[in-house]
Structures are given as structure tokens and as C-alpha cells.
Amino acid sequence: MKKVSIFILSLIVVSTLAFAGGTKEVKFPERGKSITIIVPYAPGGGTDAVARMLAKYAEPHLGVPITIINKTGGGGAVGWAEAAKARPDGYTLTMFAPNIVTYAIMGLSDLNYESFESVLMVNNDPGVIVVAKKNKDLDVVKMLKDPSYVSGGENPNFYLLAIEAKTGVKHKDIPYGGAAERIPAVLGGHVDFAVINIGEGKGQVDAGELIPKAVLSDKRIPALPNTPTLKELGIDAQMGAWRGLGAPKGTPKEIIAILETAFTKALNEPGFKEAMEKAAFTIEYKSSGDFYKFMKEQEVAIKKMLGK
Amino acid sequence: MAKTNIIVAIVFIVFAILVLFLSNSIPVSKDAPITLDTPMFPRMLSYGIILLSIILILTNWKEAFITKTDNKLIWIGREQLKIVGIGLAIMIASAVVMIYLGFILAMILMNFSYMVFFKVKKKHVLFLEPLLTTLCIYAVFEYVLNVPLPKGILFQ
Amino acid sequence: MLSNLIQGFGSILHDPTIFLFMAIGVVAGIVIGALPGLTSTMAMAVLLPLTFSVPSHLSFPLLLSVFSGAMYGGSISAILINTPGTPSAAATVFDGYPLAMKGHAGKALATSTIASSMGGLISVILLSTISPLLAKFALRFAAPEYFALAVFGLSIIASISTQNLIKGLLAGLFGLVIATVGMDPISALPRFTFGRSELLGGVAFIPLMVGLFAIPQCLVEMESIFRTDETLKNIKSELLNWKELLYIAPTILKSSLIGAFIGAIPGAGGDIAAFTAYNEAKRSAKRGEKFGSGELKGIAAPESANNATTGGAMIPLLSLAVPGDSNTAVLLGGLIIKGLQPGPLLFTKQAGLVNTIFASMFVANIFMCIIGLLGIRLFIKALNIPKKIIVPVVLTLSVVGSYSMNNSIFDVFVTILFGIIGYSMQKVGIAASPIVLAIILGPMAENNFRRALIMYNGSLAFLYTRPITIVLLAITIFTLVSTLIKQHYARR
């Protein structure tokens, strides 16, 4: 009897609240609709791979299909411009990558992370300093403090800038197009070292052709348990390629919360963890609020590096 | 062809000057490594274009203005120019329409305009071609290739 | 080793569904390749999610069949409607279309079919035998070597501009200027982007190709649209005879080697290979061979070379995890999603998959040959479709193709703009192919030249101190001079 009365009472309270405040319960996502994730990079790349794996494991938690659309160009800016214009109803999301912070600072894009709502951070692949097999015994700290060693990077090379900010030593950095050009440059001995993400060079690392010397992160990463962090070696430089989800500005808080919960569940799925580990992507979860804070910190750090 | 070549050369020189002018607004990074500056390569190309254009003018000068052996302007006839102009106009208009009305309507309209413009008489071709072409392509892209085509901002 | 290939056959014979997947893949690839604006990269990206759900011994053969089929399919539209379906078929237009116009579309298509599959087969054999060697050699390519390779490629402009050398060079320089649009990767500063983020990555290549080839061709067809609706009369559907087959065999062999070699160098794909092979075939032409007006060797060379890059491009992908072009980049994505890390260990740890890849590429090329030869009679029918229908259809495909590359209407306008430029240039006797070649090679030349300068602290010593660079530059000078001499005598 007591239980029933409590139940009825709470029912009344809830319904009056609902009617009085007009706070309808948000029904998201509705059946029959689908969620689109705009990936601003080409299919086959790292961001695309993470998005596809994430979509696969989040679908059951959201109950609707998730489609990936690759809208490439402008280092991500074109895809983000499209996502920013989309209706803020939670049905269009986009993948964030470091350029969402850096391009605005470099004056290459009008949009930055502030033009979106952050949903959650999914992964963060810290930079890994690699050398060729013949330089296996090189002391990485000595190398980083000796300006005669040449780096194969890109312009701007935020990994190297982060290291240089701590060591004060400037290396010659030959700008390449991407990891696909940097790794052969190290293997062929055209440069002495490069900073890559482990997923880009795992095959070579496993074969012993590329030697990982240090990781630019706070803690050692699961893919390379025997490789020290640069912090352990006395140079506290941290920088990674991170990815997360964003939604158009103005997407209701309730919807962001539903998305955050569903994607967080996907992140914790054993299948997702296994797939990410196999592909050598490091999962790093940050909640919506923490992700925003993280990007803000990145912005400050990068502005300092570029002297802006 | 000689006179045409001289006109071609002049157009290229104008293009090169435009590139040189625009290259002035290309930023130059202050702490760049020792290499060519960002605007340098387009500038070198522009000088190359100007040089080659001048050679083109010089080698054709005699034929075009002195011996006049080969000074016919190779261009297209008025009739052809009109057809091509209208053909292009239909395409440009359709691309603009596509922004507002989306892929299906814009392309049906474009194909139908071409059918009318080409004076296709057979009724079944006149109506079926635009519908079939557009819908087949739409279906392949939308459902097989999974590429979403524009829906048009009026229908969003 | 060749034994890998044989083991691969063994493993694909276990599961006959592979053959079904591959037949579908080859047909889909051919269709996609033949339609201007649809690219194999797009098709492979669509099939990429399949690697999640379908076992890799089925999904990779499917992807590879699409890859091979599309590389060949591009030649069909190049031959029949003077519009290369893919950038790699741009060099096939030179002799393919003239031969078709002479009524020998059957011969042209048969040549491209046989050359394509032979090129593919030769490259698979090379891939399964000397791939580690070639991969090691490719690693010796640093910025100076890439620069020299690009210069060599650009020198081909001289040999394809037979009508007027200066105008050809002007077109090349125009292409090089267009290629500078976008973000300069060396300094990370934008050039000629007018503040549009769509242009940061440069003028998108597929819209530009469609603009330079498909649109002008449609406009040319329109000019005579009101004259009696004449479709090509007297199309002979006869294919090749044995004599002709023997005649093109040496060209196919040489071009396939060129293609496999160029494909093995990361960043150089089917387009560069096709032009290089065409150039070489033309340079070594004997008296009486009429390149540019329907020479069989002029079709065989680019077609065998571009298909040979499919095997070549797998070398850096599998052994270095470095994708050679956008197609292999998608394959790399597929491997990564599967958790298979390409690299030297793939050959030992995943030997089964590697062997399957070899064997399925081999079978895909045989399928391609059979399907292609059977399909020729059907393809030729395209010539019977009235212009009044084919023109709007091709224009619709051009719009959708240029849009879908980046899902951007901006690119549709890029296509139209370059359509107008391409048409005007054609009218004044400037060919589109030097522009395309320059746009492909421009960034490679510029970026690597500047990279090399950084390596050498601003000195030009890299031009004469590195053996491979010297060899490449010497070959450039040799082919350039011998081509120019030949052209000089030919004009007399």
C-alpha cells in the first residue's frame, strides 16, 4: 500500500513538473532517423578509422544507424565548416582533431573548437620519437640536446616545438607531407629522427626497422610498454594527436548528455577496446567538460609555441 | 593560326601579370628555413610564361603581319558560339539551382533544358531521359555509394 | 618468391565465393573507372566498411578487384568519348580516340584490355618475387631524387606537344601555377586561396580533370548537334589479330616494367607511369609508327603501365606501410581496421593474407581480360547512342562526380570554370594533357626542390652529388634531346 501511494505521488509530482515547467523529456535519437558523423579527413586515415570503429560500437547504444561522411579539404577546415552549419539537433556530429585548435591560431580557418559543443574525447596518440635501426643505441636525450641531428617533420611540427620549448635546442626540421613521407625518410636514413604516432609505424616498429626511443606523454602507452616517456628522461614535453566528437553550436545540453553517455558506453565495450588496441590507437576518455578544458589548454600552449 | 597565337600569348602575359600581382599578397614566414620563399615559385613560373609568350609572339609576327601567309583567326562560328554559350549557361544555372532546390530537381531541369534546347521531338525521350538519368545517378550515389547528394537549402 | 603466389592460389581455391566477390569487384571497377568523375578511391572507400564484417580473405580480394578494374575502365571512355574516366587514362586519349574515330574502336579497346591485364599480371609477378628489393630501392629516394623524377615527368610535356612546343610549354606552366594554389606545405602558408578553406588543399584534382576533358568534349559535340544526327558509321568490331598482338608485345613488356617501377615509388602513381610509358614508346618509335593518330603501341604503353602500378603500389604499402596513392591509402585503412600492421613482418606473420593478396590480384587481372574482351561489343554500342542523349548524361555525371569528391558545390563551379578554360584552349590549339601532367607533378617538383635546399642548407649540390639524381636527370636530358631531334626531323 505504501509503495503504491509513493508511486502515485511521485507520478503526480513528475507529471505536474513536466506540465508546469514545460520540460518535455527529450526523445533522442528518434527511431527511423540516423546520426551522421562528418569526418573531415579522407577514408583510410587515422581519424576516419577511429570514427568508423566508434560508430560501429555506439550504434547499439543509440539504437539508430550512424553514417560516416568524409568531407575532406583544407586540413579539416572544410568538413568542420560544413558541420558548423548543420542543424544543432544532435543528428550531425563531427570528429575533432588537433587542427581544430591549431588552424584558427595559424589564421587558416575562421572556426575553432569554440564554434562547436564538445561531446567527448575518444583517443590521444602521443608522439613517439623514432630512429632507424642503425641508430638503435643512440641516447635520445643527448640527441635532442644536440642540434646537429636532423628531424623529419612537417610545418609547423608541434611535437618538435614542444620538445624544443623544454630543451631550448633547435633542430633542423625538414617539412614532409605526412607520416607516409616521414617514415621512409627515417628508414632511408635521410633524416635522423621523426616524431610519429605509433599507429602509423607499428609494422616497422614490430619488425625492428624503426626503434621507438621515447613517448611524449604523461604515462607510458599500452602499445609500447617498454619505451620510456620523455618525462621519465627529464624532458617534460607532451603532445599528441587526439580525436573526439563535436556537435554544432547550440545543440541542446540534454542531447549532448545522451550522446556523451552512449559514446562513453561504446568506449568501454571490450570489442572497441580490442579493435583500438589492434590498430595501435591509444584510448583516452575525457568528458564533455574536460574535453573543452583540454582544448583550451592546448590552445594556450600552441599560441605560446608559435609566439602568437 | 599565327594571329591566334599572338592573341594566346597576350592572354598568357595578362595571366602571368595577374599571378605576379596576386603573389604580392602571399605571406612570407619570417623564420623560414633556408629555401625558396612561398611566393617565389609562382613568380618564377610567371616570368617563364611571359618569356615563352614573347617568344611565341616573335615567332609568329612575320606570318601574322608581314607575309600574311597564315593570318586566319581560327575561332568558332557565330552559330557555334551561340550553341556553346547557351549550353554552358544551362549548366551554370543548374549548378546554382542545385544549391537551392537540391540535386534531383536541378538535374532533371538541366537534362530537360538540354532536351528542349537540342530540339528532341520524341516525347518519350524528352521526358524519360531527364527522369531516368537523374534518378539512376541519384540512386547509385545515395544508396550504393553512400554519398549524400545536395538536398537544397529550401527543403532543409 | 613465386611460391607465395602458388600458395595463394591454393588458399583462394578453398573458398570459391572469392571468385564471385572478385567478378563483382572487377565489373564494378570497370564501370566506375569508365564513368568520368567516379573514381576507384570513392568505390573502395564505400567498400571499406565491409572489412569490418567480411573476413579479410574475401574483403581484400574485392577491394583489389575494384582497384584493378577501375584502372582499366578509365581507358574505355578515353577511347570512346575522348574523356579519360580516371586521371591514369589521360595518356590513352592520344591514340585511343583517333583509332576509334577511324572506326577501329574494337581494336583500340582490345589493345587496352590486353595491355591492361598483361601489365597487371607482370606487376603481380614482380610483386611476389622482387618486392623486398624494390622496397629497399624506393627507400633511397629522398627529396632530391623525387625532384629529379618530377623533372623527368615534366619533360614529357615536350614530347606530347607535337603541334607547337611553345604552346605546350605554356600550358605546362599554366598547370604548374594552378598547382601552387592552396597551402604551401613547406611554410604552412596559404597561396591564392582567396580566403576560401575549400582551396587550402589546392584545386581539387578530379573536378579539374572533369573540367578539362569531359566538359570541352561535350561542348565540342554540342557545336554540331543540329547537323544530321550522325553517329559514327562503319564501326568495325574486329579485335586484334596475332600479328598485331606480337607487334605490341614488346611495348607491353617494357611499359609494364616502367609502370611497376614507378608504382613502387611512394607518391608516384598510375598517371605518371602512363605518361612516362607513352613517352618512352613514342621516343623509341620506329619509322612509320604514327603516334597521335591511332597507333596501337600508343594505347598499349599507357594502359599496361597504369595497370602495372597496381602491383607496384602494393610494394611500399605492404613492406613499408606507406601508401603510394589514394587507392592504396584506403587499403591501408582497411588493413589497420583489421588490426593488420603492414611492414616487413606482414610477410612472415600474415603470410597467408599476403599470398591471398598476390593470388587475387593475379586472378583479378585474368577476370579483367575475359570480362573486358567479352564486353567490347557492348562498350562499342556507346558510340551508337545519339549525341543528344550522351551529352546531357555526361554533363550530369560531371556535375555529380565533381560534387561527390568532397561533397562540395564549390567543386562543381571549379569544374565549369575549367571546362570553359579547357574549351577555349582547345579552340586555340592548346592541349589539356600538359596541364594535367603539370598539376600532378608540380607540387612534387616544387616541394622536393625546396626540401632538398633545406637538407643542403641552401646549396644546389644535391643536383650533382647524388647518384640516383644524376641518373634521373641524365635520362631526362637524353629523352628530351632525342625526342626533340626526332620531332625536328619528322617535321621536315
The candidate with the shortest Cα–Cα distance to C455, out of C204, C143, C239, C186, is C143
CA dist., res. C316 & res. A131, Å (int): 19
Residue B116 domain boundaries: 78-155
Q: What is the pLDDT of residues C334-391, one digit of tens each?
A: 887 777 777 777 777 777 888 888 899 999 999 999 999 999 988 888 888 888 888 9
B150 and B90, same structural domain?
yes
B151 and B94, same structural domain?
yes
Q: Where are the alpha helices (DSSP H) in C290-408?
A: 296-320, 326-337, 346-349, 351-380, 387-406
A48 and A120, same structural domain?
yes
The candidate with the shortest Cα–Cα distance to A249, out of A7, A84, A97, is A84
pLDDT of residue C241: 82
The residue count of chain C comes to: 492
How many Cβ atoms are within 10 Å of C46's Cβ, its own excluded?
19
The candidate with the shortest Cα–Cα distance to C212, out of C185, C184, C174, C247, is C174
- Helix, strand, coil: what percent of chain B each, to 5? 75, 0, 25
Q: What is the pLDDT of residues C99-112, one digit of tens each?
A: 988 888 899 999 99
Test C453 with B36 for CB contact under 8 angstroms: yes
The candidate with the shortest Cα–Cα distance to A245, out of A62, A26, A24, is A62
B39 and B89, same structural domain?
no
Chain B CB within 8 Å of residue A172 CB: yes
Is the predicted pLDDT of residue A11 greater than 60, yes or no?
no
pLDDT of residue C138: 81
Chain B CB within 8 Å of residue A34 CB: no
Which chain C residues contact residue B91 at CB under 8 A? 215, 395, 399, 416, 419
Residues in Cβ contact with A144 at an 8 Å cutoff, skipping those fewer than 6 apart: A129, A163, A167, A169, A171, A235
Confidence of residue B74 (pLDDT cuts 50, 70, 90): low
Count CA atoms closer than 13 A to A47's CA, side-chain side. Answer: 27
Q: How many domains does chain B have?
A: 2
Q: Where are the alpha helices (DSSP H) in A108-168?
A: 140-145, 158-167
- Residue A38 phi/psi, 5-degree rounding, is -85, 115
Test A209 with C344 for CB contact under 8 angstroms: yes
CA dist., res. B150 & res. C400, Å (int): 10
Report the range of poorest mean pLDDT among B24-28, C198-202, C297-301, C484-488.
Answer: C484-488
CA dist., res. C393 & res. C37, Å (int): 12
* Mean pLDDT, residues A30-46: 86
Q: Is residue A151 part of a domain?
A: yes
pLDDT of residue C352: 82
CA dist., res. C110 & res. C90, Å (int): 18
Q: Show the CA angle centred on residue C191, arms to residues C190 and C195, nearest 5°.
A: 65
Residue A194 forms beta bridges with which residues? A130, A152
Of A93 and C381, the one with more pLDDT: A93
Of A138 and C9, the one with more pLDDT: A138
- Of chain B, the percentage scoring pLDDT greater than 70 comes to 91
Of C421 and A42, the one with more pLDDT: C421
Report the range of poorest mean pLDDT among B33-37, B84-88, C147-151, C415-419.
Answer: B33-37
The candidate with the shortest Cα–Cα distance to A121, out of A104, A106, A105, A101, is A101
Q: Which of C177, C220, C459, C462 to mutate to test the interface with B (most CBs of B within 10 A)?
A: C177
Report the range of poorest mean pLDDT among A129-143, C67-81, C117-131, C230-244.
Answer: C230-244
* Mean pLDDT, residues C138-151: 90
Test A172 with B33 for CB contact under 8 angstroms: yes
The candidate with the shortest Cα–Cα distance to C89, out of C244, C256, C260, C213, is C213
CA dist., res. C416 & res. C218, Å (int): 12
Chain C CB within 8 Å of residue A48 CB: yes
Q: Is residue B149 part of a domain?
A: yes
Q: Is residue B72 part of a domain?
A: no
pLDDT of residue C237: 67
- Residue A172 phi/psi, 5-degree rounding, is -70, 125
Confidence of residue C405 (pLDDT cuts 50, 70, 90): confident
B108 and B49, same structural domain?
no
Give the mean pLDDT of chain B. 87
* Mean pLDDT, residues C170-183: 94
Confidence of residue C178 (pLDDT cuts 50, 70, 90): very high
B151 and B82, same structural domain?
yes
Of A19 and C259, the one with more pLDDT: C259
* Mean pLDDT, residues C173-180: 95
Count CA atoms closer than 13 A to B112's CA, side-chain side. Answer: 12
A297 and A245, same structural domain?
yes
Which chain C residues contact residue A176 at CB under 8 A? 185, 451
Residue A55, domain CATH: 3.40.190.150
Confidence of residue A16 (pLDDT cuts 50, 70, 90): very low
> C181 with C193: CB under 8 angstroms?
yes
* Mean pLDDT, residues B105-133: 92
* Mean pLDDT, residues A139-166: 91
Residue with cell 614490430: A206
* Mean pLDDT, residues A143-163: 91
Residue B92: Cβ-neighbour burial (10 angstroms; 0-12, 13-18, 19+) = middle
- Of chain C, the percentage scoring pLDDT greater than 90 comes to 38
How many Cβ atoms are within 10 Å of A47's Cβ, its own excluded?
22
pLDDT of residue C477: 92
- In whole angstroms, how far apart are CA A122 and each of A112, A266, B77, C78? 18, 10, 62, 46
- In whole angstroms, how far apart are CA B113 and each of B105, B133, C229, C311? 12, 13, 19, 45
A146 and A117, same structural domain?
no
Is the predicted pLDDT of residue A125 greater than 60, yes or no?
yes
Report the range of poorest mean pLDDT among C40-49, C299-308, C399-408, C412-421.
Answer: C40-49
Report the range of poorest mean pLDDT among A50-64, C72-86, C219-233.
Answer: C219-233
Strands A193-197 and A92-96 come out as unpaired
How many Cβ atoms are within 10 Å of A202's Cβ, its own excluded?
26
Q: Is residue B71 part of a domain?
A: no
The candidate with the shortest Cα–Cα distance to A215, out of A169, A155, A162, A254, is A162
C-alpha cell at A61: 547504444
Confidence of residue A17 (pLDDT cuts 50, 70, 90): very low
CA dist., res. C179 & res. C182, Å (int): 8
pLDDT of residue C484: 81
Which chain A residues contact residue B156 at CB under 8 A? 87
Is the predicted pLDDT of residue A12 greater than 70, yes or no?
no
The residue count of chain B comes to: 156
Count CA atoms closer than 13 A to C182's CA, side-chain side. Answer: 24
CA dist., res. A40 & res. A20, Å (int): 43
> Using the 8-state DSSP alphabet, how is residue A229 labeled?
B
Residue A175 domain boundaries: 126-215
Q: Which of A187, A192, A197, A205 to mutate to test the interface with C (most CBs of C within 10 A)?
A: A187
CA distance C142 to chain A (A): 6
CA distance B36 to chain C (A): 6
Q: Is residue A98 part of a domain?
A: yes
Q: Is residue A13 part of a domain?
A: no
Q: What is the pLDDT of residues A206-264, one digit of tens each?
A: 888 899 999 999 999 988 999 999 999 999 999 999 999 999 999 999 999 999 999 99
Q: Is residue A21 part of a domain?
A: no
Minimum-distance CB partner of B148 among A69, A87, A173: A69
Count CA atoms closer than 13 A to B143's CA, side-chain side. Answer: 6
Q: What is the pLDDT of residues C309-330, one digit of tens each?
A: 998 888 888 877 777 677 888 8
B82 and B56, same structural domain?
no
pLDDT of residue A74: 77
B43 and B12, same structural domain?
yes
Q: What is the pLDDT of residues C267-284, one digit of tens each?
A: 778 888 999 999 999 888
Confidence of residue C69 (pLDDT cuts 50, 70, 90): very high
B104 and B54, same structural domain?
no
Residue C182 forms beta bridges with which residues? C191
B53 and B14, same structural domain?
yes
Residues in Cβ contact with A281 at an 8 Å cutoff, skipping those fewer than 6 apart: A46, A49, A50, A123, A125, A199
Residues in Cβ contact with C416 at an 8 Å cutoff, skipping those fewer than 6 apart: B88, B91, B92, B95, C211, C215
A247 and A169, same structural domain?
no
The residue count of chain A comes to: 308
What type of residue is A114? E
The crossing angle, in degrees rounded to 10, of helices C40-47 and C326-337 is 10
Q: Mapping DSSP to helix (H, G, I), strand (E, B) and coil, where does residue B64 land?
A: helix
B147 and B105, same structural domain?
yes
Minimum-distance CB partner of B83 among C170, C223, C430: C223
A141 and A200, same structural domain?
yes
Residue C46 domain boundaries: 2-491
Residue with cell 584490355: C113
> C112 with C296: CB under 8 angstroms?
no
What is the maximum span of chain C, computed from C-alpha positions, in angstroms? 66
Q: Is residue A158 part of a domain?
A: yes
CA dist., res. A50 & res. C115, Å (int): 40
> Using the 8-state DSSP alphabet, how is residue C233 labeled?
P
C-alpha cell at A290: 574536460
Which chain C residues contact residue A188 at CB under 8 A? 139-142
Q: Is residue A2 part of a domain?
A: no
Q: How many domains does chain A have?
A: 2
pLDDT of residue C462: 92
Confidence of residue C491 (pLDDT cuts 50, 70, 90): low
CA distance C221 to chain A (A): 33
CA distance A246 to chain B (A): 21
Size of interface B-C (CB pairs under 8 A): 173
pLDDT of residue C438: 92
- Of chain A, the percentage scoring pLDDT greater than 70 comes to 92
A260 and A199, same structural domain?
no
pLDDT of residue A235: 92
- Helix, strand, coil: what percent of chain A each, to 5? 45, 20, 35
Confidence of residue A18 (pLDDT cuts 50, 70, 90): very low
Question: Which chains are adjacent to chain C, needing at least 3 Cβ pairs under 8 Å?
Answer: A, B
Q: Is residue B20 part of a domain?
A: yes
Test C451 with A82 for CB contact under 8 angstroms: no
Q: Show the CA angle centred on residue B114, arms to residues B112 and B115, nearest 5°.
A: 65
